[in-house]
Amino acid sequence: MPSRLRRFRGPRRPVQGCPQPLASFFPAGDPCVRFFILDVFTDRPFAGNPLAVIPDADGLDAALMQRVAAEFGFSETSFVFPEAGTPWQVRIFTPAAELPFAGHPLVGTAYALARFGYLPAEPAAPGLPLRVAAGDIEARIRFTCGHPVGAEFAAPGRFLLGDRADPAQVARLLGLSESELSDAAPLPCRAGHGLDFLLVRLADPEALGRATVRGPLPATLLELGLANGIYLFTDGDGIEADIFARMFAPAHGIAEDPATGSAAATLAGLLAHLHPEPDALLRWRIAQGREMGRPGLIETFARKRGGRLEEVRIGGRCALVAEGELLL
């Protein structure tokens, strides 16, 4: 590890005291852990999707991680458990629950580990093996002029297409008319690539901007993936993005998410599944977060061969916002 980065590491375990310079503010021996706050799927602060990363979470149990995630209040917080010679375990928490997989935490976590010296400055093989509850992934660090600027990875598992939802019920939930929803099969429907969502295609960006989740969540829609989130999308302008999207996840305590990598992976899987050509390399740029004043851009890639979807990748850039010590 480069010596200039040692001051960022903090203690290996939270039972140790806070290092300088923060030790002067806290009583000696108080347990603390290092954290970084990033904005993901953007190259500038105060845009994209915020993320807190705990780069060395050894000694933290699930209950404490859940409280830490609730304290940050971001859509997700990631906790890393470094392990020599094996994929590093990453646990991801929303303010309300742990997730088996999520997109922007893995992009941001990989970037943070590379940016702050937990990895070689620019490894010969840029792959970083990570382990989440949904399976093992290999994140690829993106470098510009030798400096990490973001990351990408292949979504775990395989794409799964579920049942179709009742368009009238979905429209009522969103405060829209049924005519503002696309009725092209199989939408609206449940689908997943690592994490299930309810995917809904809208007629135009105006309808996308007016949509909001209204009233209690119907049980029939919860069964169709709404517990993880409802992902709305429409055609983009072809300049800023190919697709405009929004995501609501009230069951996770997230009124709206600025940029949702796992939902983007699911959408890319669906679009590739519906693509008529049996062999294709496909790409979509998905803009999300505009309505929240936090614009982000998610890059998605899909590869089909012989009519079978082989891989979906998502990626993007990251920006550092803050770093510090969390007193436990």
Q: What is the pLDDT of residue 304?
A: 98
Q: What is the pLDDT of residue 218?
A: 74
pLDDT band at residue 25 using 50, 70 and 90 as cut-offs: low
Q: What is the pLDDT of residue 7?
A: 33
Q: What is the pLDDT of residue 286?
A: 99
144 and 194, same domain (yes or no): no
pLDDT band at residue 13 using 50, 70 and 90 as cut-offs: very low
298 and 164, same domain (yes or no): yes
84 and 166, same domain (yes or no): no
- The torsion angles phi and psi of 139, rounded to 5 degrees, stand at -85, 140
Q: How far apart are CA 18 and CA 324, in angstroms?
A: 10
73 and 209, same domain (yes or no): no
88 and 226, same domain (yes or no): no
| Pairing, β 147-154 against β 88-93 | unpaired
212 and 91, same domain (yes or no): no
Retrieve residue 42's tokens.
Answer: 């953007």
pLDDT digits (tens, 9 = 90+) for 119-178: 755 555 568 899 999 999 999 999 999 899 999 999 999 999 999 999 999 999 999 999
pLDDT digits (tens, 9 = 90+) for 275-315: 999 999 999 999 999 999 999 999 999 999 999 999 999 99
143 and 179, same domain (yes or no): no
pLDDT digits (tens, 9 = 90+) for 60-103: 999 999 999 999 999 999 999 988 777 999 999 999 999 999 99
Catalytic residues: 76
168 and 307, same domain (yes or no): yes
Q: Is a pLDDT exceeding 50 seen at residue 9?
A: no
- The torsion angles phi and psi of 17, rounded to 5 degrees, stand at -80, 165
| Structural contact between residues 212 and 205, judged by C-beta atoms closer than 8 angstroms | no
Q: For the chain, what is the domain count?
A: 2
**Residue 49, domain extent:** 3-151+318-327
266 and 287, same domain (yes or no): yes
Q: Residue 196: in which H helix or E strand, if any?
A: strand 196-201
79 and 171, same domain (yes or no): no
0.75 exceeded by the pTM?
A: yes
pLDDT digits (tens, 9 = 90+) for 171-228: 999 999 999 999 888 999 999 998 899 999 998 899 999 999 977 777 767 666 566 8
Cis-peptide, bond into residue 188, ω within 30° of zero: yes
Q: Is a pLDDT exceeding 70 seen at residue 3?
A: no
Q: What CATH number corresponds to the domain at position 242?
A: 3.10.310.10
Say how many residues make up the chain: 328
What long-range pairs does 79-88 form, CB within 8 A, spacing at least 24? 79/54, 80/53, 80/54, 80/55, 80/56, 80/109, 80/113, 81/56, 81/57, 82/55, 82/56, 82/58, 82/118, 86/129, 86/131, 87/129, 87/130, 87/131, 87/136, 88/113, 88/128, 88/129, 88/130, 88/131
